[in-house]
Amino acid sequence: MALPVGRPEEESGLEQIEVDLLLEGIYRRYGFDFREYAPASLRRRLRRRMDGERVETLSALQSLVLHDPQVMERLLLDLSINVTAMFRDPTFFLAFRRQVVPLLRTYPFSRIWVAGCSTGEEVYSLAILLAEERLSERTRIYATDINEAVIDVARLGVFPLEKMQEYTHNYIRAGGTRAFSKYYVARYDGAQFARSLVDSVVFAQHNLASDAAFNEFNVITCRNVMIYFDRPLQDHVHRLFYESLATFGILALGQKESIGQSPHEGAFEELAAEERLYRKVR
């Protein structure tokens, strides 16, 4: 009996089956959950690992990944996108200084959640900004990421020396008013940022996909994290943020992420639309 198999134009349907099975396998074997990641980029990263392992099909990659944890480790590196920078998108930090800082001044104390903080560059940038605005004593930053390894780097606060020129430039464009070099000391292994900057920062592991809300915040920034998620997971995270924000709290997204994707869009008004700063009004 001939089995009914798909026509060639259904090849992409076949690929989707293989992707689904692989991700399900990874989840059940290792506990990493990539099932709700944006499919187009995910497929590219999987294909890169296929090339790296010299296999022709996703099913073959699946077999390797399930039987060999070292292959899983390599795949994990392909799937984790941790790129970040200090004062990334300087105009965002400028808008934060001009439009969010005055709001923070009206509170005796405020909490900021940096969700998906990666190796911490964004946290140190915010901490510098708050120190310059004399708000350090009145704010607490909670910095979280799914990945323990990047949080460890963030806690250390040592960033590549060769980046300092770029970061200095960003800092100035972000409205920085001091000598950027006074915030770090050059060491053989990198630029060690002042510990005092992050004295009151709480670093913690937190998975946006599965962990619950853990506090009420006046500001949540989640930049360049949700672009890696598919739409249902984005909805889920937006709900989490909505529930975690105080009334009149601020939500900051990445330069190319829009509140239009949020099921709670109607509850926000634009604070600085170009810079993706929104305010929860109901």
Partner 1 sequence: MSYELIAIGASWGGLHAMSALLDGLAPEVDPPLVLAQHRRVDSQRGALAELLQKHVERPVREPDDKEPIEPAHVYVAPADYHLLVENGFFSLSTDARVQFARPSIDVLFESVAAAYAERAIGIVLTGANEDGARGLAAIKAAGGATVVQDPASAERRFMPEAALALAGGADAILPVEEIPGFLYELCVGARR
Residues forming the site for partner 1 (CB under 8 A): 9, 12, 15, 38-41, 43-45, 81, 83, 224, 226-228, 231, 234, 254-258, 260-261, 274
Handedness of CA 222, 252, 220, 204 (dihedral sign): positive
d(CA 105, CA 171): 22
| DSSP single-letter state for residue 68 | -
d(CA 67, CA 29): 9
Residue 170, interface with ligand SAM (CB under 6 A)? no
Smallest separation, CB 260 to partner 1 (Å)? 7
Say what the alpha-carbon torsion angle 93, 98, 101, 103 is, to the nearest 10 degrees: -130
Smallest separation, CB 192 to ligand SAM (Å)? 20
Site string for ligand SAM, 41-80 (x = CB under 6 A): ---------------------------------------x
Residue 224, interface with ligand SAM (CB under 6 A)? yes
Q: Which is nearer to ligand SAM, 88 or 280 (CB)?
A: 88
Segment lying near ligand SAM (by CB under 6 A), choices 5-13, 49-57, 113-121, 166-174: 113-121
Residue type at 105 in one-letter notation? R
Residue whose token pair is 């200084």? 97
Give the 3-state secondary structure of residue 197.
helix
DSSP of 7-56, one letter per residue?
-GGGHHHHHHHHHHHHHHHHHHHH----TTB-HHHHHHHHHHHHHHHT-S
Segment lying near ligand SAM (by CB under 6 A), choices 16-24, 97-105, 111-119, 192-200: 111-119
Residue 146, interface with ligand SAM (CB under 6 A)? yes
The two structure tokens encoding residue 247: 């009334």
Residue choice 122, 133, 257, 275 for contact with ligand SAM (CB under 6 A): 122
Q: Which residues bind ligand SAM (CB under 6 A)?
A: 80-84, 88, 116-118, 122, 145-147, 150, 207-209, 223-225, 228, 254
